[in-house]
């Protein structure tokens, strides 16, 4: 008897066919969108990190610059205080100079009238009413006329006369009689 097996023999070797994957267009579109999104995120992340690094670098530079400017500001304040102190001193000196009267003004005028290149020193200055007597010594008698003309040009003496010149060993003693324009009183 012959038997026919209509069912497929499981024992027989058959070739199994694999299903070929089919690529759908929507899948490719989604894949492209994901790749573009990941690429964009990567570029954006790199750009942001670069901006952060430059921002940090600039912040550090600005902090150093701020510290330098703070030191300069402190120096400026220190010099401003010194300038203010000096200006206050100058103002005090000028106010004292403006308030000078009588003997102080007289002494300043006499001292300013002494010739710079002359070898001359004063030993006595006496004032009685509007008459002033100046006594001094010099090694060179030719500076006495310069002193007299400077005293006359000062504007506070109406007359300047030479009273006497006495020659001594090392220097000559002289005395001048001056008449003041303004009658000054001793303070």
What CA–CA distance (Å, rounded) separates 163 from 171? 17
Q: Look up the pTM and report it.
A: 0.45
144-153 helix and 102-113 helix, angle to the nearest 10 degrees: 130
Residue range 17-34, pLDDT digits in tens: 777 777 788 888 999 999
Please report the pLDDT score of residue 20 as a whole number: 74
Q: Are 101 and 187 in contact (CB under 8 A)?
A: yes
Please report the pLDDT score of residue 187 as a whole number: 39
Beta bridge partner(s), residue 175: 135, 164
Q: Are 140 and 167 in contact (CB under 8 A)?
A: no
The gap from C-alpha 128 to its chain's centroid, in whole angstroms, comes to 53
Closest of 116, 175, 173 to residue 150, by C-alpha: 116
Please report the pLDDT score of residue 186 as a whole number: 45
Q: Identify the CATH number of the domain defined by range 102-180.
A: 3.30.1360.100
Residues of the chain predicted below pLDDT 50: 185-187
Please report the pLDDT score of residue 128 as a whole number: 85
């Amino acid at each position: 008897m012959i038997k026919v097996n209509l069912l497929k023999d499981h024992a027989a070797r058959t070739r199994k066919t694999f299903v070929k994957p089919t690529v759908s267009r929507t899948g490719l579109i989604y894949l492209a969108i994901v790749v573009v999104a990941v690429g964009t995120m990567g570029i954006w992340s790199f750009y942001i990190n670069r901006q952060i690094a430059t921002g940090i670098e600039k912040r550090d530079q600005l902090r150093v610059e701020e510290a330098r400017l703070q030191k300069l500001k402190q120096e400026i304040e220190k010099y401003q205080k010194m300038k203010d102190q000096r200006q206050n001193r100058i103002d005090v000196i000028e106010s004292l100079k403006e308030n000078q009267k009588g003997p102080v003004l007289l002494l300043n005028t006499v001292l300013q009238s002494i010739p710079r290149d002359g070898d001359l020193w004063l030993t006595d200055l006496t004032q009685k009413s509007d008459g002033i007597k100046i006594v001094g010594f010099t090694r060179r008698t030719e500076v006495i006329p310069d002193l007299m003309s400077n005293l006359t040009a000062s504007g506070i003496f109406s007359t300047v006369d030479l009273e006497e010149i006495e020659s001594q060993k090392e220097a000559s003693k002289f005395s001048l009689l001056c008449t003041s324009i303004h009658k000054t009183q001793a303070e």
